[in-house]
Amino acid sequence: MAFTEAYFIRHGIAVDRQAGIADEMRSLTPNGITKTQRVAQRLCDLGLQFDHLLTSPLTRARQTADILHTAGLSSPPEEFLPLQPGGDLLDWLTWLKARQTAVQTVALVGHEPDLSQWAQQLVTGSDRHQWILKKAGIIGLQIPNADQAIGQSQLFWLSPPRFLL
């Protein structure tokens, strides 16, 4: 059985919510940019390469995806609306089902708590939120056939960025 490797990557450190900036416009801080660049370089050093890079349309996620692309991890990122806060896992599974034979690795750049909830649901079948994905952290899953992914996927990576730096 062929699997798709999916990497759920949370955006890097962004400006505070109290900064008077609309949530969708909040950008990465200078520290967030530096830390995300270091994570991206480490992923390159580990030999990762993504067939597709999907990103939330929010500024901080797009910046994170651009950093991953610039590091040479993928082709240019593609905005994917279900990755914005409150998006639906089933929309991504529909996307994957349409491409699964051509997609061996995919990175999804988005937000908490959605990314960890999606990953947990794919592995355990439960939508009860228990996992936490740190900023610039990564969850890696092996996804079987998209029709059977919920509760049947396998976790192979769960790490905060400090384990990569």
Tell me the pLDDT tens digit for each residue of 33-90. 999 999 999 999 999 999 999 999 999 999 999 999 999 999 999 999 999 999 999 9
Specify the CATH number for the domain of residue 95: 3.40.50.1240
Of 139, 146, 123, the C-alpha closest to 2 is: 146
Domain count along the chain = 1
pLDDT in tens, 82-120: 999 999 999 999 999 998 788 899 999 999 999 999 999
CA distances (Å), origin 88, targets 91, 118, 127? 6, 8, 12
3-state helix/strand/coil string of the chain? CCCEEEEEEECCCECCHHHCCCHHHCCECHHHHHHHHHHHHHHHHCCCCCCEEEECCCHHHHHHHHHHHHCCCCCCCEECHHHCCCCCHHHHHHHHHHHCCCCCEEEEEECCCHHHHHHHHHHHCCCCCCCCCCCCCEEEEEECCHHHCCCCCEEEEEECHHHCC
pLDDT at 130 over 90: no
What is the residue range of 118's domain?
A: 4-163
Distance CA 128, CA 68 (A): 30
Q: What was the pLDDT predicted at 19?
A: 64
The two tokens of residue 133 are: 């994905």
- Give the integer Cα–Cα distance in Å for 142 and 158: 12
